[in-house]
Amino acid sequence: MRAGSRSYGSGECFVFRVVGEELEVFNWTRENSFFQVSSHEHLAIGGGGHFALWLDEDLSVGTTADCKTFGSPPLTPGRKRSSRAVSSDEAEDDVVDFDVVVVECWVPQMHLPN
Amino acid sequence: MPPPDADLASLAAMHAQIAHAREETSRLRTEVALASLSLETEKNTLQQTLTLTQTPTPLSPMTATSDEAHILRSLSHQLAATRAGLAQLTQTESELVAERDALALQARLGSDGLAPAGPAEAAVMTEGVCRQEFVRAAEDALEGKGKGGEMWREHALPNLGLLRGRNVSCGVVVDRVFDGVAAFTPGVSRTLGAGSALSTKGERECDYEIIRCGRKVKVPQEGVVEKVVRGFKTIVVGDSGGSVTLSAGGEAVECVQHLLETHLPRGMEAKHLAGARDSANGANVKLPKLKASVSTPSIGTHFLSASRPPTDEEVGRRGKSRGRSRRRPSRDFSKERAHAVPRMSHKSKVLSPELMGDLLRAAPVRYSQSALERLYCTDDDGIALGTFLLKVANRGPVFLLIRDTSGSVFGCYGSAAWRESS
């Protein structure tokens, strides 16, 4: 993240995951106010240590981790990091990589286009 | 008789021999002394070399000294270089820590210290800038003046409810809206009290007006307005039978109390505000259902609430949560699934319609009756972030749904549209 880039969005943000048949929602904890950040190369939400969710510029890979903003755990088990690839300051077990199969984006609207 | 001549000669010869021998001896002695001296010098040199190199038996004194000194010099240089590098790293680290702290502070305060980033902080700010400042700031923001204008409109305004009626003006932070509320975004009366510039022209059909961004929306008279404030208990401000009831706890209650005290019509205050100090849990007033028939369609059913006020558990849940990564129990959505699934523009490849309904209900309740339009899907629209940002630009809050190769389904709700850069 570029130093000086600021987050936007409000405390209405949340992250979620599906566990079994149920939706598990993680709302804002007020620990910090890092909400949405983005650039040409990534999207991310949550902060103050690790992002709750981070997606790369191809929307193909991402990371997720314990996040203080939402009190959320890694949202997916993802794929295991290979131990030889990490440098010593990245070798934290709770940052999870994942590979995307599909990403969808939906907005609430009063009326749908025909 | 005197000795013979031969004897004299031999005597002389003997003397000569003796003298010669003495000379010889003396010469030899000198040589010995010199040799001994040089040996002594050699011995000293050797001793010095031994001490210098601290090796028991140097192969050659001169060579050993130069090797060791060379190595020592080289090692000293390396040590100095490492120390310099370490100092530089330490400095970088402290610079980065300072920058991070500054950013955190900045994020908490918002762009200019006036506009908060989220509902609870808006409430804290409300407390601090109560009274005229609050009103003035909101007025400026509605007119787009000042640095905080955009932040207010985007963040604080949607979360503020301003209730104006019967000369009551107050601002509270709204998180959820329940029965009886048709709209909750604010307008601000320019002169508080009677005769406000925003009062309806001659129409008295409603006891309270709810004003959205300067436009007036009239709401039918009956019912009370309940506002639930995240982090606080229920704040009920209503108009049934002419009374205003406040039951609240938490940090904003004093601010709201003050506002109500300042602006309530006479005769109303003492009785109902006293109840507030007990910070009762939940509503004091029974809530009749409000038929929302509002004149502005764009508000309309946006703000139809969930069918019930929050449970004590949910309201209590809004308290402060400390500690890292502590998970709080989520709502039991299965009980709410009696609602129909939302209208959707496409079939989702990530979530079932039931889960989409759950997701919509987890969003701010003003969207609980919304339909869902799919703006982007990687299967159809490709895998470029640039395209994604183009399609979602300025479309407002957005749900991001992800399925990954492990089969997990997850995502987020962003309250602002994703932008190209922060």
For residue B411, give the nearest of A86, A106, A58, A108 by alpha carbon.
A106
Closest CA to B181 of B213, B224, B217, B212: B224
Among A76-90, B33-47, B131-145, the minimum mean pLDDT is found in B131-145
Is A32 in Cβ contact with B325 (below 8 Å)? no
Quick one: average pLDDT of B26-50?
A: 81
B336 falls in which pLDDT band (50, 70, 90)? low
pLDDT category of residue B400 using cuts at 50, 70 and 90: very high
Residues A94 and A64: beta-carbon distance below 8 Å: no
The mean-pLDDT minimum among A42-46, B93-97, B323-327 falls in: B323-327
- For residue B64, which of B81, B46, B83, B77 has the smallest C-alpha distance? B46
Cα(B382)–Cα(B389) distance, integer angstroms: 12
Q: How far apart are the C-alpha atoms of B23 and B283, rounded to whole Å?
A: 136
% of chain B at pLDDT higher than 90: 7
Sign of the alpha-carbon torsion through B383, B387, B391, B397: positive
* Residue A38, min C-alpha distance to chain B (Å): 5
Which of B88-102, B115-129, B156-170, B378-392 is most confident? B378-392
For residues B134 and A94, which has the higher predicted lDDT (pLDDT)? A94
In this prediction, residue B2 has a pLDDT band, given cuts at 50, 70 and 90, of low
* Among A residues 42-101, those touching chain B with beta carbons less than 8 Å apart: 42-43, 45-46, 48, 52-53, 55-60, 62, 64, 66-68, 71-73, 75-79, 98-101
- Token pair in block for residue B27: 């010469």
Q: List the structure tokens of B313.
A: 């558990």
What pLDDT, on a 0 to 100 scale, did the predictor assign at position B74?
78
Rounded to an integer, what distance in angstroms lies between the CA atom of residue B69 and that of residue A82?
46
Question: Per-residue pLDDT tens for A58-69?
Answer: 899 999 999 999
Could you give the maximum distance between any two Cα atoms of chain A, in Å?
A: 54
Bigger pLDDT: B29 or A70? A70
Using the Cβ of B395 and the Cβ atoms of chain A, whether some distance falls under 8 Å is answered with yes
Sort out which chain B residues have CB atoms less than 8 A from A105's CB and list them: 374-377, 388, 391-392, 398-401
Task: Tokens 């300042």: give the residue.
Answer: B262
pLDDT category, B364, cuts 50, 70, 90? confident
pLDDT (tens digit per residue) in A35-59: 999 888 899 999 888 899 999 988 9
Q: For the residues of B114-175, what is the DSSP string, one character each?
A: SS-SSHHHHHHHHHHTTHHHHHHHHHHHHTT-STTHHHIIIIIHHHEEEEEETTEEEEEE-S
Give pLDDT tens digits for B252-262.
Answer: 444 444 444 44
Angstrom distance (rounded) from CA A86 to CA A91: 6
Q: What is the pLDDT of residue B220?
A: 35
**Higher-scoring residue by pLDDT: B102, B209:** B102
Interchain CB distance below 8 Å, B103 and A6: yes
Minimal-distance CA residue of chain B relative to A69: B325
In this prediction, residue B222 carries a pLDDT of 33
Closest to A17 in 3D by CA, of B395, B358, B385: B358
Higher-scoring residue by pLDDT: A112, A15:
A15
pTM: 0.41
To the nearest whole Å, the CA of A81 is away from the closest chain B CA by 14
Partner residue opposite A17 with nearest CB, options B358, B377, B409? B409
Minimum distance, in Å, between the CA of residue A84 and any CA atom of chain B: 22
In angstroms, the separation between the Cα of residue A77 and the nearest Cα of chain B is 7
Rounded CA-CA distance A100/A79 in Å is 11
What number is the average pLDDT over the span B316-344? 53
What are the structure tokens assigned to B244, written together?
A: 């205003």
| CA angle (B323, B325, B330) in 5-degree steps | 110
Mean pLDDT, rounded, of chain B = 56
Complex ipTM: 0.89
Q: Do A7 and B107 touch (CB under 8 A)?
A: yes
Q: Which two tokens stand for residue B139?
A: 């007025």
Evaluate whether B410 touches A16 at the Cβ level (below 8 Å): yes
Using an 8 Å CB-CB cutoff, list chain A residues near B107: 6-7, 32-34
B153 touches chain A (CB under 8 A): no
What pLDDT does residue B106 have? 61
